[in-house]
Amino acid sequence: MRSKLVLTLAILMGLITTVLFFNYMKQYDAQTVANKSKVEVVVAAQEIKRNVSITKEMIETKLLPEEGIHTNALTELDSVIGQFSTADIARGEALLSNHLQSAKEEKLFVSRKIRDGFRAVSVGVNLPQSVSNLLEPEDQVDVINTVKEGDKLVSKVVVENVTVLAVGRRMVETTEGEEYVEYTSVTLEVMPNEAVNLANATESGPLHLALRSRVKSGEEAASDDN
């Protein structure tokens, strides 16, 4: 009788020990998962389409387990803001370095450099017409057309304060030490109606480009800010 009691107690103690062991392991596994190191990564706060300039409102950060993060995942918001998307990015998707390109890289494509509602028009120029080939992309110019009216030559401004998108095939400013290359055309960013006026002027007489200063007065700067 006593031996049966001892056996029963042994079985009971074994069951209790097993239950306690499994409970401990369950808590241990949960604690292990909770303690896994997490990294803050940049994710899309909304759907982002391809060829979009990314703003602060489009992105956010999220803590994710380090072991599941892609090696190209971005972790700094500032490194993403102002970049251009090279692919469609779903909401909640982590942003990868290969999803983005810089504004300078983006502007190597003239069609992406043109602002919405504007057009790109190229005009032929020689050395005097192009301010001695001293123009740079992002300069502002006026375009002057000279026509013959009777015995007189009459010059008038066709378009004014327009942006130079490219000189020749160069769409970024010259860097120090870069070899000089002469150009015979300039591409301008104009409104659609200005593009028509510019095309007509090109056929009616020679064009000259008048370079504007990049240094703005206080009133002009305040106007731009507004």
> Which neighbouring-strand residues pair with 166?
187
d(CA 189, CA 212): 15
Q: Once rounded to an integer, what is the mean pLDDT over residues 37-61? A: 88
Look at residue 162 and tell me whether its pLDDT is greater than 90.
Answer: yes
For 117, phi then psi, to 5°, come to 95, -10
Span 63-111, pLDDT tens digits: 888 777 888 889 899 988 888 787 789 999 998 888 887 655 555 567 7
Query: What is d(CA 39, CA 69) in angstroms, rounded to the nearest whole number?
Result: 8
Give the single-character DSSP code of 170: B
Alpha-carbon distance of 170 to 10, in angstroms, equals 88
- Which one has a higher pLDDT value, 96 or 35? 96
Q: Which CATH number fits domain 38-106: 3.90.1210.10, 3.30.70.260, 3.90.1150.10, 2.40.50.100?
A: 3.90.1210.10
Convert the pLDDT of each residue in 200-226 to its tens digit. Answer: 999 988 999 999 998 865 555 555 555
Q: Where are the domains of the chain?
A: 38-106, 112-214
Report the alpha-carbon distance of residue 180 to residue 182 in Å, rounded: 7
